[in-house]
A and B are shown apart, each in its own frame.
Chain A
């Protein structure tokens, strides 16, 4: 640490060169933060999933509905604490491009099942009382400028009404949010009773069941017990933890992770070359000075440390700036575009990974020039200078 001033001065000997190197490191880590935030979105909330919540889906395909009658059987299964259900509505608001998730469900049960969702109790009461009521996530309310009391017509893509119409009118009764910055609230919930009564077909079914297991119950045993009950029936089920479901669903996107990794690889390779080259150059120019340092009695390790620290310092300055700008951008994007790109989030793990990469890249770029500096023979170096 006592050499910090010296290292700092050395780093800025060629201001243009150092600034350019810092800028390219900055860009690299800015890309890193944006890409990892987008990559995070493709994990479809696997990290926020609750390990004690299970989902029950039709075994053949999750688009197939399950009978309403399953509810009591699931609730009676040992180890099940509470159960609710939801369905896929698939409507849009005004323009088919404004598609978002809407789930017909049971108001109170749903919010008990998802304690991480926050809604003012009076809004929840109002929604439970109003059959045509709907509650929307904060991100959607922001995107469309909705407030409590608004009338929201949704166009159904699947569920025509008994009267043949496709427009479902709802009263906005509440806005729910989540404290978890990773959470996604770009969806809406409305009353299953209203859905069941008004839809033209599909009566007596729900999309899927969600259940909470009693504390201490084994999720695998509970899941197997549920699936065994419905084996060899027309609607066999597949029960998994919410987390396993989210993870397996995220795999549907395929090689996105691989592609992100490839891009990051290309970026870092370039970055290493640029900064490695800069370090090599600056050591080359300073050979006689380093020889003087050694003549003054600096040990080999100190010289190695000084050169290496300079390289790490440059990486850290650029990297932290890039990470900081990236963090701000992701904050801004998730606030303003949360409804388009739900779930983008710069995770603490990604930030720590970035920090580790800065140090590693600093070492990788500086190690050869530093070793060269350490091995200098004083006489030769001074003679050359």
Chain B
């Protein structure tokens, strides 16, 4: 009991005196803040990217591609194969029509607003059922493209990120002029990075004959996926890969988000080591600045343990403050920060917002606390071992 009272007395005394050592304390605080800031900023990129990709994927929608394609752009399906998929069991029907959209996925060079350089913007040709398969797609401006006409509707994110995609603009590519007639949103998903048009028109513009790259179908139930896969795999006329949309998009997200993590975590660990050195420095100077105070306390009968604890607590609190500041700054600057980058998996641009999520902030604060405890521990031992008589003589 007595030792707890001692600990709290010494710690409280110590903390009240922090403002007198503001300079070196601030160094520790800012050092830790920088670590948490960098950590949250880098990892929020991976989080935001994944969120965008996952938002596109429903469990009750399936995507069928030629087997081994790894991405829509590589795939190819004939008209006949498309019909087999659309009429397979398990595909939901609207009256007599199956809810299936055969699609083409190509890229078109459009300049990015941020640097005025050509970027691989994804361009998707869809059938009318596309809007039933993806029920989160909603027209927010203008009108739908008319079948058979050279008209686009553009994703909300694409419109903001790339040049010349406002409703009413005309884009010339190849021999033809295309008009932007509408803007759609899709719940923040990767679809919003795309331009959509009638698949028939795109087939002729990209000279794809009567072929498609993927068929998206709505399932009666998400458990029908395995059955659909079995039926199609057994059919000798088609050699398919059948994935739920969710599986497909998480496989598309894997490469880039892994890359960010492979770079991000070691980076944070290195920075954290740097911050530990900074914290150690600050705490050693704090201990030497408090030399007289500590010696006096010891002379009055306070034990070495409370002195040690007070130093560790001081350093941990400073680190916590740093962590909170770093996390807050990261949130204010980076949360919602919009970028577009090339996703290697689909070889096309994905527009996404950085997401500084709660669990990132928690991880950041935990890192800060670890830095604080480690940074305070060794100076605390020195404080506890300080010879009383000698320290008092230095007065």
Segment 26-40 of A: residues with Cβ below 8 Å from B: 27-28, 30-31, 34-35, 38
A273 touches B31 (CB 8 A): yes
Does A69 lie at the interface of the complex (its beta carbon under 8 Å from any beta carbon of B)?
no
Q: Bound state CA distance, A377 and B37, in angstroms?
A: 43
User: A143 interface residue, CB < 8 Å from B?
Assistant: no
Q: A20-B277, A269-B34 are in contact. Are A255 and B285 (CB under 8 A)?
A: no
Instruction: Say if the beta carbon of A379 comes within 8 Å of chain B.
Output: no
Q: Does B281 contact A (CB under 8 A)?
A: yes
Q: A204 contacts the other chain (Cβ, under 8 Å)?
A: no
> Looking at the complex, which one of A96, A158, A234, A263 makes contact with B207 (CB distance below 8 Å)?
A234
CA distance A355 to B66 in the complex (A): 54
Give the residue among A99, A248, A270 with the most B Cβ atoms within 10 A: A270
B interface residues, how many (CB within 8 angstroms): 58
In the complex, chain B residues whose CB is within 8 Å of the CB of A228: none
B115 within 8 A of A: yes
Determine the distance from Cα of A201 to Cα of B174 in the docked complex, in whole angstroms.
Answer: 22
- Which residue of A has the minimal Cβ distance to B28? A274
Residue of B34, B38, B109, B112 touching A61 (CB-CB under 8 A): B109
Contact B174 A266 (CB under 8 A): no
A274 touches B277 (CB 8 A): yes
Q: Mark A283-321, 1 if CB is under 8 A from B, else 0.
A: 000000000000000000000000000000000000000
Do A248 and B118 touch (CB < 8 A)? yes
Q: Which of B69-77, B147-155, B304-312 contacts its partner?
A: B69-77
Partner of A281, one of B24, B67, B68: B24
In this assembly, does B263 line the interface, its C-beta being within 8 Å of a C-beta of chain A? yes
Q: Is the CB of B27 closer than 8 A to any CB of chain A?
A: yes
Asked whether B81 is an interface residue with its Cβ less than 8 Å from the other chain, the reply is no
Task: Find chain A residues with CB under 8 A from B45 CB.
Answer: 259
Could you say which residues of chain A place their CB within 8 Å of the CB of B117?
Answer: 248, 251-252
**Which residues of the partner chain B approach A251 to less than 8 Å between Cβ atoms?**
112, 115, 117, 119
- Chain A proximity mask over B203-233: 1 for CB below 8 Å, otherwise 0: 0001100000000000000000000000000
A16 touches B274 (CB 8 A): no
CA–CA, A24 to B342, complex, Å?
Answer: 35
Chain A contacts for B275, CB-based, 8 A: 270
Instruction: Give Cα A10–Cα B114 distance, bound, in whole angstroms.
Output: 50
Q: B23, B24, B278: which contacts A270 (Cβ < 8 A)?
A: B278
Encode contact with B along A45-62: 1 for CB under 8 Å, 0 otherwise.
Answer: 000000000000001111
- Chain B window 115-155, contacts with chain A (Cβ cutoff 8 Å), 1 for yes, 0 for no: 10111100000000000000000000000000000000000
A252 touches B38 (CB 8 A): no
* With known contacts A27-B271, A31-B270, A20–B339 Cβ distance under 8 A: no
Q: Which residue of B lies closest to A157 (CB)?
A: B74
**Cβ distance B241 to chain A, nearest Cβ, rounded Å:** 10
Q: Which residue of A lies closest to B277 (CB)?
A: A24
Q: How far is the CA of A270 from the CA of B31 in the complex (A)?
A: 5
Find residues 168-221 in chain B having any chain A CB closer than 8 Å to their own CB: 173-175, 206-207
Contact B267 A263 (CB under 8 A): yes
Q: Is the CB of B267 within 8 A of A274?
A: no
> Which residues of B are found within 8 Å of A96, using beta-carbon distances?
68, 70
Q: Mark A150-174, 1 if CB is under 8 A from B, else 0.
A: 0000011110100010100000000
Q: At the interface, yes or no: B42 with Cβ under 8 Å from chain A?
A: yes
Contact check, B271 vs A31: say whether CB atoms are below 8 A apart.
Answer: yes
Asked whether B347 is an interface residue with its Cβ less than 8 Å from the other chain, the reply is: yes
**B34 and A267: CB pair below 8 A?**
yes
Whether, in the assembled complex, A76 has its beta carbon less than 8 Å from a beta carbon of chain B, the answer is no
A277 adjacent to B69 (CB under 8 Å): no
Task: Report the Cα distance A358→B290, complex, angstroms.
Answer: 33
Asked if B341 is an interface residue, CB under 8 A from chain A, the answer is yes
Sorting the interface of chain A by its residue count into under 10, 10 to 19, 20 to 34 or 35 or more gives 35 or more
Question: Within the assembled complex, what's the spacing in Å between the Cα atoms of A357 and B24?
Answer: 23
CB pair B342 A252 closer than 8 Å = yes
Tell me the nearest residue of chain B to A337, going by C-beta.
B262
Asked if A241 is an interface residue, CB under 8 A from chain B, the answer is no
A156 to B67, CA, bound (A): 10
CB contact list, B83-115 vs A, under 8 A: 106-109, 112, 114-115
- The reply to whether B270 and A263 contact each other, CB–CB distance below 8 Å, is no
Contact, CB under 8 Å: A232 / B31: no
Q: Does B30 reach chain A (CB closer than 8 Å)?
A: yes
Q: Are the CB atoms of B107 and A61 closer together than 8 Å?
A: yes
Could you say which residues of chain B place their CB within 8 Å of the CB of A24? 274, 277-278, 281
Q: B349 in the interface, Cβ–Cβ < 8 Å?
A: yes
Residue of A nearest to B69 (CB): A157
In the assembled complex, A262 has its CB within 8 A of some CB on chain B: yes
Instruction: Report the nearest A residue to B121, measured CB to CB.
Output: A61
Of B66, B174, B270, B342, the contact of A160 (CB 8 Å cutoff): B66
Residue A17, interface by CB 8 Å: yes
Taking a contact as CB atoms under 8 Å apart, the answer to whether A60 and B340 are in contact is no
Taking a contact as CB atoms closer than 8 A, the residue among B42, B175, B284, B349 that contacts A252 in the complex is B349
Q: Which residues of A contact B118 (CB under 8 A)?
A: 248
* Beta-carbon contact of B67 and A166 below 8 Å: yes
Tell whether, in the assembled complex, residue B34 and residue A28 are in contact, meaning their CB atoms are under 8 Å apart.
Answer: no
Residues of B within 8 Å of A382, CB to CB, are none
Across-interface contacts of B271 in A (CB, < 8 A): 27, 31, 267
CB of B23, distance to nearest CB on chain A (Å): 6
Q: Is A92 an interface residue (CB 8 A)?
A: yes
Q: Bound state CA distance, A281 and B27, in angstroms?
A: 12
Can you list, as one digit per residue, whether each of B259-277 has a CB less than 8 Å from chain A (1) or not (0)? 0000100010011011101
Determine if B71 and A157 form an interchain contact, defined as CB atoms under 8 angstroms apart.
Answer: yes
| A324 on the B face (CB < 8 A) | no
A43 to chain B, nearest CB (A): 13
Residues of A within 8 A of B74 (CB): 90, 157-158
A102 to chain B, nearest CB (A): 13
20 example contacts (A-B, Cβ-Cβ < 8 A) are as follows A16-B284, A21-B277, A31-B270, A31-B271, A34-B270, A38-B263, A60-B109, A60-B206, A62-B109, A64-B206, A160-B66, A166-B67, A234-B174, A252-B342, A256-B341, A263-B38, A270-B34, A270-B274, A270-B275, A281-B24
Q: Which 9 A-B pairs have the closest CB atoms?
A: A27-B274, A251-B117, A24-B277, A157-B74, A252-B342, A270-B34, A158-B74, A254-B341, A266-B34
Q: Identify the A interface with B (CB < 8 A).
A: 16-17, 20-21, 23-24, 27-28, 30-31, 34-35, 38, 59-64, 90, 92, 96, 99, 155-158, 160, 164, 166, 201, 232, 234, 236, 248, 251-256, 259, 262-263, 266-267, 269-271, 273-274, 277-278, 280-281
- 16 more A-B contacts (CB under 8 A) besides A63-B107, A160-B76, A274-B31? A21-B277, A21-B281, A30-B270, A31-B270, A34-B267, A59-B109, A60-B109, A62-B107, A90-B74, A158-B76, A166-B67, A254-B114, A263-B42, A266-B37, A269-B34, A277-B27
